[in-house]
A and B are shown apart, each in its own frame.
Chain A
Amino acid sequence: MNKQGFLRDRRPAWERFESLLARTETSGPPRLTSGEVSELSELFRALCYDLAQVRSRDWGSSVERYLNDLVVRGHGVFYGAKPSKRGRVTNFFSHVFPRVLRENYTFFWTSAALFAIPMAVSWTLVASDPSLAYRVLPGQVLYTMESMYENEPGEQGDGEDEGEESFERQDAAMAGFYVRHNVSIAFKCFALGFFLGLGTIYVLLSNGIQIGTVAGYVIAQGHGDRFLGFVLSHSPFELTAIVIAGAGGLVLGHAILAPGDLARVDALRQRGLVAVQLALGAAGMLFVAAMIEGFWSAQPTPLAVKYAAAAFLWLTVIGYLGFAGRTA
Chain B
Amino acid sequence: MYRHDDPSLEPLSNLTYLETPENVRLAFRLAGPGSRLGAYLIDLGVRFALFYGIAVVLGVVLAPLSGTGLSTGVLLVLAFALEWGYGCLFETWWNGQTPGKRTFGLRVVKTEGYGIGFYDAMLRNLLRAADFVPFFYAAGFIAAASTSRMQRIGDIVAGTMVIRERRPELKGDLAGLSEHAPFPMNAFEHSFRPSEKTIEAIEMLYRRREELAPARVDEIASVLAEPLGGHLASEDEKKLAREHPAEFLFRLLRASRVRPGAHGEGAEAA
Contacts and interface: CB of A to CB of B under 8 A. Distances in A.
Interface of A: 2-5, 7-8, 11, 18, 25, 27, 44-45, 48, 51-52, 55, 58-73, 75-82, 168-177, 179-180, 183-184, 187-188, 190-195, 199, 252, 265, 268-269, 272-273, 275-277, 279-280, 294
Contacts, number: 182
Contact of A58 (B27, B196, B203): B196
A191 B158 CA distance: 12
A3 B123 contact: no
Given A176-B74, A183-B84, A191-B127, 4 more contacts: A2-B260, A5-B261, A11-B170, A174-B69
A175 B78 CA distance: 12
Contacts of A191: 126-130
A268 B156 contact: yes
A116 B83 CA distance: 29
A45 B22 contact: yes
17 contacts: A45-B22, A60-B197, A62-B170, A66-B169, A68-B27, A72-B165, A79-B112, A81-B115, A175-B73, A176-B74, A176-B80, A179-B77, A180-B79, A187-B129, A192-B129, A199-B133, A252-B157
B73 A294 contact: yes
A71 B129 contact: no
Nearest to A57: B196
Given A76-B113, A187-B129, A195-B133, A269 B157 contact: yes
Contacts of A277: 119
Contacts of B93: 27
Contacts of B73: 171-177, 294
Nearest to B257: A4
B40 to A, nearest CB: 17
B136 interface: no
A61 B69 contact: no
Contact of B126 (A4, A190, A199): A190
A176 B156 contact: no
Given A52-B24, A273-B119, A76 B114 contact: yes
Nearest to A265: B156
Interface in B63-95: 67-70, 72-77, 79-80, 83-84, 93-95
A276 to B, nearest CB: 5
A71 B24 contact: yes
A190 to B, nearest CB: 6
Nearest to A44: B22
A113 to B, nearest CB: 23
Given A27-B93, A69-B165, A72-B28, A61 B197 contact: yes
Tier of interface size on chain B: 35 or more
Contacts of B196: 3, 58-60
A155 to B, nearest CB: 20
Contacts of B28: 72
A193 B169 CA distance: 44
B215 interface: no
Contacts of B80: 176, 179-180, 183-184
Contacts of B170: 7, 11, 62-63, 66
B48 to A, nearest CB: 16
A48 B133 contact: no
Contacts of B123: 272-273, 275-276
A176 B75 contact: yes
Contacts of A44: 22
B26 interface: yes
B232 interface: no
Nearest to B169: A66
A187 B84 CA distance: 9
Contact of A177 (B76, B84, B114, B119): B76
B157 A68 contact: no
A149 to B, nearest CB: 21
Contacts of B75: 176
B151 to A, nearest CB: 9
Interface in B86-108: 93-95
A151 to B, nearest CB: 19
A169 B69 contact: yes
B59 interface: no
